[in-house]
Structure 1
Amino acid sequence: MAADYELLCSMLSSLTLNERHPVPNMANAAALLWQELPDINWAGFYTMEDGYLLLGPFQGKPACIRIPLGKGVCGTAAEKNKTQLVKDVHQFKGHIACDSASNSEIVIPLHDKDKKVCAVLDIDSPLTGRFTDEDKAGLEKFAHILEKACM
C-alpha cells in the first residue's frame, strides 16, 4: 500500500498553519507519519545541537539520545546534507541499531532559514527495502513544508 503524500502534505500544512514553534510542529508531524505510513516502526526527529544530533519528538520505541555527525544513517544525512534511503540498514557501514527490529530507513535533512541543516526526519521500518524513490520524493516535500513553517 503506497502512501498518499499529497494528502500527508496537505494535512501537515493544515497542522502547521498558525504555529511557528518547531517542537509542536515536529511532534504533530511525527504523529501524522506514524498514523498514516504503513509498515514503519519509528518516525521522528533529531535536532542539531552543538555539533551533534539530539533526539526530538518521535513516535515509536525509545531511541538513541545523541548521534555524532557522520555516524549512522542520521549522522550521515546531516553531515552530507543529503537524504539517505537505506534499503538494508545491516549493509550500511556504521549503522546505529536503536531498535533491532529496524531493517530499512530513510533520513531527510531539514534546513533553517540560512539553509544549514538544523534537524533530520528519521523513519524506520521492520521491512527490508520498505522505502522507495517515491517515498523519498514525498517525504522531502513533507520535510520542506515543515522547514517553511518553523525552521
Structure 2
Amino acid sequence: MTKAQKYQETLEEIQAVIEGETSMTARYATASCLLAQKFDYFFWTGFYEVDPLKENELVVGPYQGTLGCLRIPFSKGVCGACATQKKTLIVDDVHAFPGHIACDSQTNSEIVVPVLNRKGELAAVLDVDSTSLNSFDAEDQKGLEAIADILHA
C-alpha cells in the first residue's frame, strides 16, 4: 500500500468513527489513535488546542506517545510557529529550528498542521513527530491536511 493509499484509508476510517460525534475531544482522540497505529514512523501524534482562556497559547489535547509539553506559547517552537502562521510546517531537523521546544529529546523531525474550526479560526494544531530526520514530505502534508479538514466538518 502506498503512503497516499494509507492516508486515504485512515481518512475514511476517521470519518466513519467520528460521524455524528459532537465532542472535539473524541474526534481528536480518534484521529491521533488511528494515525499513530497506521504509520510506524510516527513517534508522537496529537493535538495542541488553542486555549480559550489564554490568548496565544496552545494546551495539550488528545495524543499518542510519550509525555508532551503541557503548554506551548504561539511564540515558541514548531507548533507555535504553525499556530501563528496558520500553515503547515515540515521540519526535517528540529534541532536546527530556531526556538524549538524539546518536549522529548528523541524527536528529530516534525510536521505540524493547523486545524481550523467551521468559522476558519485556528482551533488546534495537529503535531506529528518522528525519531528519524527527514521523515515527512509533501505526501504527509497532503494526507494530514485532509484529515485536519474533516475534524470540524
TM tier relative to shorter chain: over 0.9
Distance 1:60 1:9, change over 3 A: same
Which amino acid letter does the alignment assign opposite residue 47 of structure 2? F
- RMSD over aligned CA atoms reads 1.1
Stretches of structure 1 lacking an aligned partner (at least 5 in a row): none
Deviations 1:95-128 (CA, angstroms, capped at 9, x unpaired): 0000101000000011112211110000000010
Match in the other structure for 2:98: 93
Match in the other structure for 1:126: 131
Structure 1 runs, 4 residues or longer, greater than 3 Å off: none
Deviations 1:19-76 (CA, angstroms, capped at 9, x unpaired): 0210011111111011001212100001001220000000000111010012100010
Cα distance, 1:18 vs structure 2: 1.7
Q: Is 1:139 the counterpart of 2:139 in the alignment?
A: no
Q: SS in structure 1 opposite 2:107?
A: coil
Q: SS in structure 1 opposite 2:118?
A: coil
Provide the rounded CA distance (Å) in 2 between the counterparts of 1:87 and 1:137. 17
TM-score normalised per structure 1: 0.94
Provide the rounded CA distance (Å) in 2 between the counterparts of 1:114 and 1:2. 34
User: How many residue pairs align between the two structures?
Assistant: 148
Cα distance, 1:2 vs structure 2: 4.9
Match in the other structure for 2:27: 25
Stretches of structure 2 lacking an aligned partner (at least 5 in a row): none
TM-score normalised per structure 2: 0.93
Q: SS in structure 1 opposite 2:112?
A: strand
Percent identity between matched residues is 42
Match in the other structure for 1:14: 16
Provide the rounded CA distance (Å) in 1 between the counterparts of 2:48 and 2:15. 21
Which amino acid letter does the alignment assign opposite residue 57 of structure 1? P
Which amino acid letter does the alignment assign opposite residue 62 of structure 1? L
Match in the other structure for 2:40: 38
Provide the rounded CA distance (Å) in 1 between the counterparts of 2:38 and 2:139. 15
